[in-house]
């Protein structure tokens, strides 16, 4: 996506070429994947004024063919090969949090006078607003996500443990030919008090049960959360659930192109009143190729809401050793409108697991 726009940004910053790499087998580099479609091991080289190309190992040739970008097979001396192709450039763009001190040493031996400049923010900016083509994929991804989450909630009578729910979601992913976008959270009883709880094989317990689920479909992520109730909620529990729900709905109502994301977050915190201290994470985060990308929706966000942004709205309240509640929808700013892609009902739902 947007490789020409990226090259334009490189020129503006007087960067001769960007060099990105992925040295971990079985993992993709999100920026390489975004710019080239290549999901394998190797290097992506994007000169500001020439055609970009990949350097890939022979074993990953199928991934390279899928990317439709020009590629060369990685052999000894491939850094010299890159230098031959792009010239002895002096300003090289790299991902500063990924470009290692080892890589710097190797590249500096060939590109003797090079300076390495961080280009992650440039790509982050491009990725932050999605194209119409990306919107179409994301909509499909959301439809699958909604379907699986609804099926899961309707299947509660067959679940005995958190792990049952977790495994059900994973198997649904396989059946739908999608990947999990992160390690799902299923937290029952006191466990939802920890936002990143690890699912256990203990019996499901009375109280709130948080299910945080998301998929990766054609390279794009979703991330939604529903909190259901096992047993009979007290008046207070109902009241607190509805407070989270109101804050969540109001936050979505508050979204308008041009508004500051930090204001959306601040307003949600204000609405939580005396419970604001129990809201221990940010209101939301951008989604896309990665399950966390720009923009962040917190009091520190600097961005204003723009066309093409895609992010979560997920207020939550956490009472240590008691319970936790989180409700999370995925929002897309599409053709000037605020589209809530998450269609799973969010009024408080009472469920009955196996043996309950």
Q: Which of 15, 32, 60, 138 binds a copy of itself (CB under 8 A)?
A: 60
Q: Which of 80, 183, 246, 307 binds a copy of itself (CB under 8 A)?
A: 183
Q: Which of 73, 103, 153, 252 binds a copy of itself (CB under 8 A)?
A: 103
Size of residue set near a copy of itself by CB under 8 A: 43
The partner residues of 73 in beta bridges, in order of sequence, read: 56
Q: Is position 277 an interface residue for a copy of itself (rule: CB under 8 A)?
A: no
Q: Is position 59 an interface residue for a copy of itself (rule: CB under 8 A)?
A: yes
Q: Which of 99, 135, 311, 323 binds a copy of itself (CB under 8 A)?
A: 99
CB of 51 to a copy of itself, least distance (A): 25
Q: Is position 100 an interface residue for a copy of itself (rule: CB under 8 A)?
A: yes
CB of 325 to a copy of itself, least distance (A): 16
Q: What is the largest CA-CA distance in the chain?
A: 72
The partner residues of 340 in beta bridges, in order of sequence, read: 331
At 329, which helix (H) or strand (E)?
strand 329-334
Window contacting a copy of itself (CB under 8 A); options: 3-11, 78-86, 140-148, 194-202:
194-202
Interaction pattern, residues 147-166, with a copy of itself; x per rule: CB under 8 A: ----------------x---
Burial (CB count <10 Å: 0-12, 13-18, 19+), residue 348 = middle
Interaction pattern, residues 284-303, with a copy of itself; x per rule: CB under 8 A: -------xx-----------
Separation of alpha carbons 71 and 53, rounded Å = 5
Is there a contact between 331 and 306 (Cβ–Cβ < 8 Å)?
A: no
Separation of alpha carbons 348 and 327, rounded Å = 10
Which is nearer to a copy of itself, 190 or 349 (by Cβ)?
Answer: 190
Exposed e or buried b per residue across 228-247, where buried means at least 16 C-beta atoms within 10 angstroms of its C-beta: bbbbebeeebeebbebbbeb
Burial (CB count <10 Å: 0-12, 13-18, 19+), residue 76 = exposed
Q: How many Cβ atoms are within 10 Å of 25's Cβ, its own excluded?
A: 10
Is there a contact between 208 and 314 (Cβ–Cβ < 8 Å)?
A: no
Window contacting a copy of itself (CB under 8 A); options: 72-80, 188-196, 231-239, 260-268:
188-196
Which is nearer to a copy of itself, 199 or 233 (by Cβ)?
Answer: 199
Angstrom CA distances, 20 to 27, 71, 79, stand at 14, 14, 12
- The footprint of a copy of itself on residues 204-233 (CB under 8 A) is none
Is there a contact between 242 and 221 (Cβ–Cβ < 8 Å)?
A: no
Window contacting a copy of itself (CB under 8 A); options: 1-9, 171-179, 230-238, 296-304:
171-179
β-bridge pairing 115-118 and 91-94: parallel
What is the sign of the dihedral through the CA atoms of 124, 129, 135 and 141?
A: positive
Angstrom CA distances, 81 to 54, 67, 172, stand at 12, 21, 45
- What six digits make up the tokens of 272? 């939580």
Which is nearer to a copy of itself, 126 or 173 (by Cβ)?
Answer: 173
CB of 50 to a copy of itself, least distance (A): 25
Q: Is position 118 an interface residue for a copy of itself (rule: CB under 8 A)?
A: yes
Which is nearer to a copy of itself, 162 or 237 (by Cβ)?
Answer: 162
CB of 280 to a copy of itself, least distance (A): 7
Instruction: Summarize as ranges the residues that interact with a copy of itself (CB under 8 A).
Output: 23, 25-27, 40, 58-63, 66, 94, 96-105, 116, 118, 163, 167, 170-171, 174-175, 177, 182-183, 194-198, 280-281, 291-292
């Amino acid at each position: 996506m947007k490789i020409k726009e990226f090259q334009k940004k490189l020129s503006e910053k007087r960067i001769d070429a960007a060099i990105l790499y992925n040295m971990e087998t079985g993992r993709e580099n999100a920026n390489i994947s975004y710019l080239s479609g290549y999901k394998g091991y190797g290097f992506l080289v994007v000169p500001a004024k020439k055609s970009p190309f990949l350097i890939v190992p022979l074993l990953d040739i199928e991934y390279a063919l899928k990317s439709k970008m020009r590629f060369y097979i990685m052999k000894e001396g491939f850094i010299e090969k890159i230098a031959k192709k792009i010239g002895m450039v002096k300003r090289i763009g790299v991902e500063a949090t990924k470009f290692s001190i080892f890589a710097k040493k190797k590249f500096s031996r060939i590109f003797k006078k090079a300076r390495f400049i961080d280009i992650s923010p440039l790509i982050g900016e491009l990725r932050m607003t999605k194209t119409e083509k990306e919107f179409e994929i994301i909509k499909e991804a959301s439809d699958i996500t909604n379907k699986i989450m609804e099926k899961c909630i309707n299947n509660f009578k067959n679940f005995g443990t958190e792990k049952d729910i977790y495994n059900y979601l994973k198997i649904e992913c396989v059946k739908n030919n999608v990947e999990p976008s992160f390690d799902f959270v299923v937290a029952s009883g006191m466990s939802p008090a920890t936002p990143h709880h690890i699912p256990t094989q203990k019996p499901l317990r009375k109280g709130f049960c948080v299910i945080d689920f998301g998929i990766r479909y054609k390279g794009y992520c979703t991330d939604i959360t529903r909190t259901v109730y096992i047993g009979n909620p007290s008046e207070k529990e109902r009241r607190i659930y509805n407070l989270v729900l109101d804050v969540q709905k109001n936050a979505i109502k508050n979204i308008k192109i041009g508004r500051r994301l930090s204001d959306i977050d601040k307003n949600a915190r204000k609405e939580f009143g005396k419970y604001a201290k129990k809201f221990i994470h940010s209101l939301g985060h951008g989604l896309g190729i990665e399950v966390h990308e720009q923009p962040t929706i917190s009091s520190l966000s600097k961005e204003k809401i723009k066309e093409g942004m895609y992010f979560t709205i997920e207020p939550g309240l956490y009472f240590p050793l008691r319970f936790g509640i989180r409700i999370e929808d995925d929002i897309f700013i599409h053709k000037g409108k605020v589209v809530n892609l998450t269609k799973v009902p969010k009024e408080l739902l009472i469920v009955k697991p196996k043996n309950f």
